[in-house]
A and B are shown apart, each in its own frame.
Chain A
Amino acid sequence: MAYHSEKLINELNEKARQLRLDALKMIHERGQGHPGGSLSAAEIITALFFHHMRIEPSRSDWLERDRFILSKGHACAILYPALARRGYFPLEELSRWGHLGSFLQGHPDRLKTPGVEMTAGFLGHGLPIGAGLCLAARLKGLKYHTYILLGDGECQCGVLWEGAMTAAKYKLSNLTVIVDYNNVQLDGPVHEIMPLEPLVEKWKSFNFATLEIDGHNIGQVLDSLDMAKEIHSQPTVIIAHTTKGKGVSFMENKAEWHGLAPNDAQYAQAIAELKGKRRDD
């Protein structure tokens, strides 16, 4: 497992903060979007796109590139700025998100947006699709690793567990699944709507290796991604404990911020809070 320097971790924390600002700006400008689940995934997306994954934005058809699927596609407000800042397309395009004719759709579209590996929107697809990508890698002798980011509410979808069985049957060690476990879904707390616990045991019983981390601790995210690649006999799931709406006090842990855009005053407060958290201020 690689050592991650404090400098790297500080840089990535700053990047995550920047992505949160981008996401809120996009959602505010558009008056639409999903802040809660975008903010909770900021460190996970940052760790993958700005350090861990083997990707080359200038060669998006590189056969050996690592694959990432945002199965919780509603969190695209955190993915799009990551793609832009990673060099897949100009940053200015973010302000055209959701406009007619923009290549940034309401949910990710693989045919329109550079860097988006797979279309998403309705939940549950990412894992079974990832299983296919991993089986194909094995057949073709390609060394890419596949990463699937799930929401916690998404773990209520039956088709996801169909994919989990396939991944386990074929011992797809080139698959890493990450659950953004922020405890809140559209209609309310996950444990009230449809409880998932014991979630780690569920994945274990589906023959996944399991890792549990604080999904806002960049160091833990990086370590767990490295550890998952060291497991060679089975697929891995990283249960990332997170906070819905992380970084904006009035959005944190609130179901109403699942799919709501802040008004001008709320936006100003949110930005102030996020900027106040800048480490070098």
Chain B
Amino acid sequence: MTEKVSVRKAYGQTLAEHGAINPDVVVIVADVSSSVMTNYFAEKFPERFFNVGIQEAGMVDTAVGFALAGMVPFVNTFAGLFLRAVEQIRTCVAYARTNVKLVGSYAGLSDFKDGPTHHSIIDIAIMRSMPDMAVIVPADAIEVEKMVPAVAEYDGPVYLRISRTDMPVVFDEKHEVEIGKGVVVRDGSDVTLISNGIMVSRCVKAVELLADERIDAGVVNMHTLKPLDVSIIKQAAETGAIVTAEEHSIIGGLGSAVAEVLGAQCPVPLERVGIADTFTETALDPDSLLDHYGMAVEDIVKAARRATKRKRKNR
């Protein structure tokens, strides 16, 4: 059994640590501090912590004010709740290009128990469509720890997507991240699995099952959806078949981003693993919810089979 570590705890603790390094970092939250774990920061830097209550739109605008004054606001709520502030984000963060860091926690299906209101399956599609918005989906707790300082020091608006669940550990302490640069987790020659978030660990598992079928699959961790690492997609396309895997609707997310590059620059068979165009349901645990909505390891394996089959047909 792979070790699982809480990514939201990693986020909260790293943010508190980074607060000591960068005195311009301020944290704003809309009454979910103990959930998204900004309470670590609050304990350490109470004067730089602002709980504004249940007002997501106002919270984003207030963060914009901090950014105008040269500070680095981390704005925190559930990923799904940022939908309330989409116009604020478009106008005052993206268009006005203010240095605001939006942290959408409880993302994807990770808040399995609270149901589809709390599941966030379209956030990436919206954020990715905004000019100048960087969009980042870390794969495990280590990547979160590495990403928080990078996000704080990045010059411009960022949407950072954090899961509620304990995620399987993929990387070790030596892991390095650079915003906008994909990570080759494993090379393969028959097909490349491009994924992010919790689906990276599931792709790594799929590789073992595919090996049994003599399909040599590579894995790319595309932690940054925007700015997108086009060169790593073109490199992956050299295997002749691509599978994308994401904890998000297949409309507008990673699968769409990769399809946009493949379609324009290097068409190869592409299979997308993600949530079909549907709302989800409540479940008792996050893993069975992912499995139920088509993001099981077996779904990745099947998609890889289909992609490699299409590749052979094309030849």
Contacts and interface: CB of A to CB of B under 8 A. Distances in A.
Contact of A139 (B48, B62, B91): B48
A158 B61 CA distance: 13
Nearest to B23: A139
A62 to B, nearest CB: 12
Contacts of A109: 96
Interface of B: 26, 47-48, 50, 52-53, 55, 57-59, 61-71, 73, 87-88, 91-92, 95-97
A53 interface: no
A129 B53 contact: no
Contacts of B71: 136, 139-140
- For the complex of A and B, list the 7 residue pairs with the smallest distance between their C-beta atoms, beginning with the closest: A132-B65, A162-B58, A136-B69, A128-B61, A162-B55, A119-B96, A133-B65
A159 B69 contact: no
Nearest to B53: A165
Interface residues of A, number: 31
Interface string A150-181: 00000000110011011001100000000000
Interface of A: 67, 109-111, 117-119, 121-122, 125, 128-137, 139-140, 142, 158-159, 162-163, 165-166, 169-170
Nearest to B64: A129
Contacts, number: 102
B55 A137 contact: no
Contacts of A119: 91-92, 95-96
A130 B65 contact: yes
Nearest to B26: A139
Contact of A129 (B50, B68, B95): B68
Contact of A163 (B48, B62, B69, B96): B62
A117 B87 CA distance: 19
A133 B67 CA distance: 8
B70 to A, nearest CB: 7
Contacts of A169: 52
